[in-house]
Amino acid sequence: MNTATPRFVTAALYQFVDLPDFAALREPLQALCDANGVRGMLLLAPEGINGTIAGTPAAVHAVLAWLRSDSRFAPLQHKEAHADAMPFYRMRVRLKKEIVTLGVPGLNPARNAGTYVKPQDWNALVDDPGVVLIDTRNEYEVGIGSFERAINPHTRSFSEFPAWVAEQSQPGGVLAGNPKVAMFCTGGIRCEKSTALLKSQGFSEVYHLEGGILKYLETVPETASRWHGDCFVFDERVSVGHGLVRGQHQLCRSCRMPLGEAELQSPHYVPGVSCPYCHGTRTPQQERALAERERQMELAAQRGAEHIGARQRASLAGSGAEGSSSKQGDTT
C-alpha cells in the first residue's frame, strides 16, 4: 500500500448557511489562499459557500481550518482527491447572488431542504416503484451514467430545472399529484436546493442522497449498486466509477464535453481541436488557433513547463465544485 503523502490535494466543499456579511469574507479568504499557495475558486453568497481549491495538503487544510474557525462553518464538510500536479492556475474568491444558480428567490436550503437518505439506504428508494426518482444534473452529465430508472429532465443548466418542475407538475406530468420524490446529484449541493424548491411548492415527501453520487460510489459495493456508468466530476479526473476509481473519460479541450471511448475513436475527434459534439462549429481560423495551442501545450509538456494554453484545459476544474462549471451557466 502506498502511504506517501500526496503532492497536491483538491478539496471540493459547500455549505448552505446564512451569510449576511459574505462580502466582508472575500478579501481575507483570498489573502489566506494566496499566502498558502492555494488555487481554485470559491464562491460566497448570502446563502453560503461553494467551490474547489487545491494545494499542498498542509496549505489546503490551513484554509479549511480557517473557515471552520468561524462557528457558522464549523459543520463544513469537504471531499478530497489527490493529484500529482496542480490542477488550477489561479485563485479567485468571487461574490455571487447564489452559490449554485437556480434563480428562484426566497429559497432557504439551510432551513428547508428535503430529507437526507444515507447511501446505504438509497437502494430502497431506487427500487420503490412508488418513488419518482430524478437526476437533477445536466444532460452531458447524465449521458455518461445514472441510477436505474432515474428520470432525466434534459436540462442544459440547473436554472432550467424550475421550469421542468412546473411543466411536470401539470396533469399527466411525472410530478402531478405531489408524489413521493427522491433526487440526486454529484455531491449534494444541487439537491439541497431542488428539494427546497419542491417543498416550497407543497411536496411533503422529498428525499435526496446524502453526499451525492460520489458518496454512494464510495460507500456502496459495486455488487449491490444500482448505479450504471461513470459519474462526471468537476476536476481533472473528468469521471469516476465505483470506489471513486478514475474513469476512462477525457475532456474535449475545445468544447469541454466528456468523451468516452466511442467519441475518442470518432473521425471528428482531433485532440484539442474538435470532437463529435463540436465538430463543424468552429471557423477554419479558430481550428488553426486551437491546433497551434495544442502543439504549444505538447511542447511545453515535453519541457516540463506550464503553457498558458493549459488554462483552457483546466478551466472546467477551475470553475469550482458541483454546479459550478461555465458549461452549466452557473459558475460556482
Provide the residue ranges of all domains of the chain, joining segments of one domain with +: 8-95, 109-229, 255-328
**Which stretch of 60-69, 73-82, 272-281, 313-322 has the lowest confidence by average pLDDT?**
313-322
Per DSSP, what are the bridge partners of residue 79? Answer: 12
Instruction: Give residue 3's pLDDT band: very low, low, confident or very high (50, 70, 90).
Output: low
Helices 284-303 & 310-318, crossing angle to 10 degrees?
90
Q: What is the pLDDT of residue 293?
A: 86
Q: Once rounded to an integer, what is the mean pLDDT over residues 32-54?
A: 97
Instruction: Give residue 305's pLDDT band: very low, low, confident or very high (50, 70, 90).
Output: low
Q: What's the rounded Cα separation, in Å, for the pair 97 and 310?
A: 30
> What average pLDDT is seen over the chain?
88
Q: What is the pTM of this model?
A: 0.83
Hey, what long-range contacts does 289-294 have (CB within 8 A, 24 or more apart)? 290/253, 290/254, 294/253
Q: How much of the chain, in percent, has pLDDT values that exceed 90?
A: 71
Query: Smallest Cα–Cα separation from 41: which of 3, 103, 79, 88?
Result: 88
- The dotted CATH code for 8-95 is 3.30.70.100
- H or E stretch including 222? none
Active site amino acids: 185
Contact 317, 236 (CB under 8 A): yes
Per DSSP, what are the bridge partners of residue 259? Answer: 250
Contact 272, 290 (CB under 8 A): yes
What lies within 8 Å, CB to CB, of 270 at 6+ separation is 291
Q: Which residues of 8-17 are buried (b: 16+ CB within 10 A; e: fewer)?
A: bbbbbbbbbb
Q: Once rounded to an integer, what is the mean pLDDT over residues 159-167?
A: 97
Q: What is the pLDDT of residue 278?
A: 92
pLDDT in tens, 89-118: 899 999 999 999 999 999 999 999 999 999
Q: What is the pLDDT of residue 6?
A: 77
Query: Smallest Cα–Cα separation from 117: which of 109, 107, 125, 129?
Result: 125
CATH class of 109-229: alpha beta
Q: What is the pLDDT of residue 294?
A: 85
Q: Once rounded to an integer, what is the mean pLDDT over residues 34-51?
A: 97
What lies within 8 Å, CB to CB, of 193 at 6+ separation is 16, 100, 102, 107, 109, 113, 158
Q: What is the pLDDT of residue 96?
A: 97
Q: Once rounded to an integer, what is the mean pLDDT over residues 279-305?
A: 83
Tally: H helices and E strands in the chain:
11, 15
Q: What is the pLDDT of residue 297?
A: 78
